[in-house]
Structure 1
């Protein structure tokens, strides 16, 4: 075979070996096998590897990076065995070395064999270590990503459980409110029937009260159905706090003051409607906000509670100004409960840091008389 044919053959074999590297990520062991086969053919036909030992080292790196450690070590042994066997069966041409005095010394076949095998072994070990390190780093990152996804899933599940628990508690409290309204309606109906013939004026007043109580109970029922629109869970055994007999905020303020919390109450605007559910929602929001301050920022020097009543809505603010910021727990049960209570009355809750502390702001709305 002429030199031109030899050159083309070497180029073709080198092209096959390096082209096989394109599949190193998906089939690293097969890639290494193809490169070693091209190397053996090149050594047998041309008595040289045509650079395919470099391709073999790169393929070994891919095996170490994308395959288990056992496969990488077996591949290293296979590479060295095939390379050594090819050099032993088909020795390369003698290598000439220029020394300092200008003379040339021809290396023996044994020396050429040792130099080539030692060089390839050193490169293969470097590739194996780098590939193993890359694989370890990739697996570590994958584990961190999986753990983060698991934590996010657990956080969402915890938030959903808290949401269901709060809805159950609100539903039970509003059940008491609606049941009370129905009891009053029954009593008024019985009284109106008893006084219908003897005292028609008193019966008319009782009927008016009956209609007003019925409208209030109907509004409470609509709000209850609204807040439970997505709650398809069964009885979850949510903790149920006793419903306060008196929703006067001065009592809860006094209790927190007795606990050492420097809280002040400021109220403005007309009185709230005679809606037990609305009054209970305002009471619970203030109580929960103050509890959060007591739990997360007990050293706050001043807490201001502001109730701004306007026609059709009320704004509730709890601001621990000039104090430490409570721990932010957006998925906590307290904030979820406040938001659910506000949602019953077509409102919303905002909670977040201020320049001097932390503020909870809730807005609750209701329909004015005649709008139902």
Structure 2
């Protein structure tokens, strides 16, 4: 019977909340102490009976403490297991989000590369077809531009695919072309002029270095905007690219005098405009695009001078 009481004491301490366990243990041991003191050891001296009650109390408290410690250890283990499970789920969710973000980034890169260069190739090849018999020299020059543009597109797509195939391994930097930057805009404008679109390029303010990510984003925004101009502005349109190195922010504006791209409310459609907005937002900037009151279409991106810090926090 005594062993049974100790087992019950351990059980309530190991499986019940503390206050309920104390109440249950007291409810069990109080009648036992009365029975020992007044019945089982009634013939013994009062000191002897008190020692027996104290001994049972100490043993019961020890067993209760062991059960209480085991319960806390079990609860701690369950808590750690839950945390590990939540952490694993969070890690998988973050990994899935990272994959989705990378897929969107790659999609933007491919869109920018393919859309711009294919547009240039289409325009130049159509022009070469028209003047092939009347002006062979102009046709040959146009075909040379088509060839060069195609090589550039293939090279940039090869770089992107090389990074994809490399996975977690670092790609061989010697095999990759450097990423375009703001300094590459002059070459982009020259290429666009070769495609038949008159473009005026101007720089305002004192130039200062931009973070690599911001510089690439600016280049891609200008590239996409000029591609849209080639597609939608019409045959007699002119375009202008203005790079403004302001004291508080960096701004790039791309405008044209043509019909303009279709109006897209809140960028809900058109992957090009969505991609431009995402590139600007990624580095703490903003982008506005739409038709102008006097005609034409304007794309304007603004980046704060501390955009590299905001881009890092993203």
Task: Report the TM-score, using the length of structure 1 for normalisation.
Answer: 0.37
Task: Looking at secondary structure, tell me which structure has more helix per residue.
Answer: 2
Larger radius of gyration: 1
